[in-house]
Structure 1
Amino acid sequence: MVRGVLVGVVLSVALTGAACSSTPESAPAPSSASSSPTPSPPTSASVVVPPSTTPPAAAPVTVDPAGRALDEYLGGMAAEQQFRGAVEVRRGADVLLRKGYGNADVGTATPVTPDTRFQIGSLTKQFTAAAVLRLQEQGKLRVTDPVCAHLADCPPEWAPITVDQLLTHTSGLYNYTEAGEDEAKPFLNRHVVPQELVDYVKGKPLDFTPGTRWKYSNSGYVVLGVLVERLSGVDYATFLRQQLFDPLGMRDTGYDTVRSPRANGYTDWTTPGEDDVSLYFAAGGVLSTTGDLARWNAFLLADKPGVISSTSLAAMMSPHADIPGTQVHYGYGIEVHGGGADLTYAHGGLVTGYRCENTIRPSDDLSVTVLTNLSTNDPASISGHLVELVGHP
């Protein structure tokens, strides 16, 4: 059984959650055409292209005979107030389970459906990593480049840090979501410009010499998001939509600060609690649905359509660093667990009011996505149990 391991994603941003993950590690990717700096950044660092406002055709609830045990398990969890959210389990083209449990809005008793959007926290990192690899293919950077080659006003201490080290959490950058309540106050309950977060991190000493250790850092992915904007000349939301989401048909996925419809987030069964998604930016600000993430998983499994090259995809999913104290390795925005028939790729996400886990097992073409709007859920354990229940064919 595979369980996501939540590593060092402490949220102490004033009682909130951090754009978080499960377990991780690092490594370089193939370098493509090199290139020189950089078009000017977009004028509005957080101009957002919202997901489609046209309601999708309602996704039917699906409980395949092979998925009945999964539904019974989740239904029992929901009845005991231990789970609320949406789940999709697929084996290849077969949908074993696609269903919502509990309420998207407790006050109005609006139910979760398979179409409900959720904040996905650090699952965002997979899209940021793919965006960086896309820029590499376009000759606008190499993952082996020093970050200071592409970042304005780079602190001297950052000179040894490479793009690869940002992708793999080996840069030593202070993790801004570990800030204490007093320090975090200026960033809370308002729209945050990414450069504000970068400037805050610039004022902190490195946690260790770049490349010598592994430590989860949301700061590295915020910096990567700034590089995406700077090198592409468009805002982060637009780049993801044009380069990844539209080609993959992920019309309900996006970096969306305009509050399009989604499940409300809760810190316990009835207490609402959400942060402005701009606080998490390219480290954890994307929202999505189980269906769209199943499309993403199908791309990861089959490399179709080719939104990034097969070489880039292989680099993204290859283990680059060992996470101390675990049997898990980290690629680019993705965890690698086990091997052989049990080889599994996974990542979790946590922001205030939302948690999730996304898992694929290539040997079975198995895809398991668990999205929740409850901070007290443990989707990594739930996903691990679902994988156990499905078993190998």
Structure 2
Amino acid sequence: MQSLRMIEEWPVGAAAVAVVRGADGALLGAHGPQHHRFQLASVTKPLTAYAALVAVEEGVFELDDPAGPEGSTVRHLLAHTSGLAFDENRTMAAPGTRRLYSNAGFDVLAETLAKAAGIPFERYAAEAVFQPLGMADTAIEAAHRTPAGAGGVSTAADLARFVAELQAPRLLDPSTVAAATREVAFPGLSGVLPGYGHQKPNDWGLGFEIRDGKTPHWTGGANSPGTFGHFGQSGTFLWVDPVAGAACVALADRDFGPWAAEAWPPLSDAVLAELRG
């Protein structure tokens, strides 16, 4: 795909991109070092969420089990509605009343899963998600300040396998993935989309941001409202567009900033235009 060469113009040291078709998980195009390990920052959250959803299906815990502040559940933590602050275990609002994006909430989620499963969360994620999908170069680093929220490392090749799974699930029942990525959890809540300001509403599924009508946004103008995914402050993103029937992964070694806000949407639009042919 010629559109992927756009990353050559990004003001970064290294970047890699991959596009995956939904129907069969085929790799439609790739550019850059596909096996270079990048820090994921918040692109870790979809991986953590997927491990949590596997745990739900395995009976380790349930979405409505108590977790986090009083009145909060596993579901609240996944949907950034537990009321926990961004980067500390401090309650800022009653559960279910505000969309407070929270790294701390994902670490509480991981701690809850680890306690219920009886093994460290990093090991559970590896055994439940990374190993079955062949993501040999992916890990969640326990030493990171917020491991389950932002401590992931991976490659474009590995994340291509993950977005293939999101489009044609093998590890989870398709209805579980659809509920997490296409149904707004606690609809109508406003909140801040990091790097893009206040959004009303600020729609999320369970661990995945849902694009809907948000503006400005890190995806392209051509992305459908049903697009879901995540971006990270380390210069990384992944999205799945069910209307286009494809997904895009992009990783870079420069922290998110104005360069990314300017470069990412045109790449997404060019990819979608090339897919439409």
Normalised by the size of structure 1, how large is the TM-score? 0.59
Could you give the per-residue CA deviations for residues 211-239 of structure 1, whole angstroms, max 9, x where no partner exists? 11111111110101101211111111211
Query: Match for residue 295 of structure 1?
Result: 161
* Equivalent runs, 1:341-360 vs 2, <5 Å: 342=224, 343-350=226-233, 354-360=234-240
The unaligned stretches of length 5 or more in structure 1 are 1-66, 101-112, 149-157, 178-200, 258-276
Could you give the per-residue CA deviations for residues 139-160 of structure 1, whole angstroms, max 9, x where no partner exists? 2322112226xxxxxxxxx221
> Alignment partner of 1:330: what SS?
coil
* Equivalent runs, 1:163-178 vs 2, <5 Å: 163-176=74-87
Q: Retained in 2: the 8 A contact 1:121–1:284?
A: yes
Work out which of the two has the higher radius of gyration on C-alpha atoms and give 1 or 2.
1
Report the AA paired with residue 250 of structure 2: V
1:319 counterpart = 2:222: no
Could you give the per-residue CA deviations for residues 31-87 of structure 1, whole angstroms, max 9, x where no partner exists? xxxxxxxxxxxxxxxxxxxxxxxxxxxxxxxxxxxx22431x32233xxx3574211
Q: CA 1:96/1:380 → structure 2, altered by over 3 Å: closer, same or farther?
A: farther
Q: CA 1:368/1:164 → structure 2, altered by over 3 Å: closer, same or farther?
A: same
Query: 1: distance between equivalents of 2:128 and 2:162?
Result: 13
> Alignment partner of 1:132: what SS?
helix
Q: Report sequence identity in percent.
A: 29
Report the AA paired with residue 104 of structure 2: S
Deviates more, 1:293-302 or 1:374-383: 374-383
Q: Retained in 2: the 8 A contact 1:143–1:163?
A: yes
Q: Retained in 2: the 8 A contact 1:86–1:372?
A: yes
> Alignment partner of 1:293: what SS?
helix
Deviation at 1:99, TM superposition (A): 2.1
Q: CA 1:386/1:239 → structure 2, altered by over 3 Å: closer, same or farther?
A: same
Normalised by the size of structure 2, how large is the TM-score? 0.82
Query: Match for residue 138 of structure 1?
Result: 58
1:99 counterpart = 2:99: no
Query: Match for residue 386 of structure 1?
Result: 267
Query: Match for residue 88 of structure 1?
Result: 18
Q: Retained in 1: the 8 A contact 2:168–2:174?
A: no
Matched pairs, number:
252
Deviates more, 1:236-245 or 1:128-137: 128-137
Higher RCO (CA < 8 A, seq sep 6+): 1
Query: Match for residue 364 of structure 1?
Result: 244
Spell out structure 1 runs of 4+ moving beyond 6 A. none
Query: 2: distance between equivalents of 1:379 and 1:366?
Result: 21
Deviation at 1:322, TM superposition (A): 4.3
Query: Match for residue 121 of structure 1?
Result: 41
Query: 2: distance between equivalents of 1:129 and 1:70?
Result: 28
Q: Retained in 1: the 8 A contact 2:232–2:256?
A: no
CA RMSD between the two structures: 2.4
1:74 counterpart = 2:4: no
Q: Retained in 1: the 8 A contact 2:107–2:149?
A: yes
Query: 1: distance between equivalents of 2:112 and 2:159?
Result: 25
Query: 1: distance between equivalents of 2:265 and 2:130?
Result: 27
The unaligned stretches of length 5 or more in structure 2 are 191-198, 214-221
User: Which residue of 210, 213, 235 maps to 1:336?
Assistant: 210
1:161 counterpart = 2:93: no
Q: CA 1:132/1:82 → structure 2, altered by over 3 Å: closer, same or farther?
A: closer
Q: Retained in 1: the 8 A contact 2:98–2:189?
A: no
Q: CA 1:143/1:381 → structure 2, altered by over 3 Å: closer, same or farther?
A: farther
Q: Retained in 2: the 8 A contact 1:118–1:373?
A: yes
Report the AA paired with residue 313 of structure 1: V
Deviation at 1:328, TM superposition (A): 5.0
Query: 1: distance between equivalents of 2:94 and 2:235?
Result: 31
Q: Retained in 1: the 8 A contact 2:13–2:253?
A: no
